[in-house]
Every structure is written in C-alpha cells, then in structure tokens.
Structure 1
Amino acid sequence: MMVRVRIIDDEAFFTLKRTPTGIVRDEYEFPIDLHVARDLIELHCGGRVVSKNCYCVPNGAAGVRIL
C-alpha cells in the first residue's frame, strides 16, 4: 500500500494506492484539511517533497495533462 499526501494550491488530498495486480491498481483519494496535510508531510516526510509542474494543453473538447 502506498500513501500520498498532495497539496494543490489551497486544497489537500490523501491518497491510498494498492499494490498493482497485473495492470490494475486500486486508488482511493480523499480531500483533507490543508493544515493536516502540511503536518503529515512535516512529521512523516521530514519536509521532503516532490514538486511537479503540470501543463494543460488544449486538444479538441478535452485536453492533455503534461507532467
């Protein structure tokens, strides 16, 4: 089981990812309080974070997210 705490702008999310079975992996994501997310990152990750830039490129009615 993998756990992820993610902060996007002023929103925070707690995600659980199950070990993949073949090509399928269950993933559950819950919104959490921003202060709780910051505390979890500080207490359990020593403040280590991975930052990603995401770009949305228009493509017809949908779009493409590029990380």
Structure 2
Amino acid sequence: MKRQKRNPNDRAFHKGYVAAVEGRNHDSCPHENGSLHQEWVNGWRQGREDIWSGFGRAAQAQRMESM
C-alpha cells in the first residue's frame, strides 16, 4: 500500500526540530520565506526549548515519533 505524503508544513516543523536537537543554528533553514520557513523555525524553537528544559535523548526521540 502506498503511503500518503506528509503535509509539507508538518515535515518542515519536524526537520526544524531535528536541526535544533542536532545543535544546528536557526540560520541553517533551507526555506527562504513563507509558511515553510515559519514552520521550520517553529520546530527549531520547540527543539531548543526541549533541550533547555532538560529533555533527554529518549524523550526527544519519543516526541519526534509523535510528530
């Protein structure tokens, strides 16, 4: 069975979250502007907040699976 493509905004959020968890700068966003850029930055901010709140790798992995 074919999988449906994910929503591009959800995918951008997830990629931003992963970038933050990996320690990359928010300037590394691949999107120049628009809603994808905003979702990527929102994901990056959420990832940074999780790191600052003390979430460990296991909690981060669990959160990424639920996205």
TM over 0.5: no
Return the index of the structure with the highest Cα Rg.
1
- Would you tell me which structure has more strand in proportion to its own residues? 1
TM-score, scaled relative to structure 2: 0.26
- Would you tell me which structure has more helix in proportion to its own residues? 2
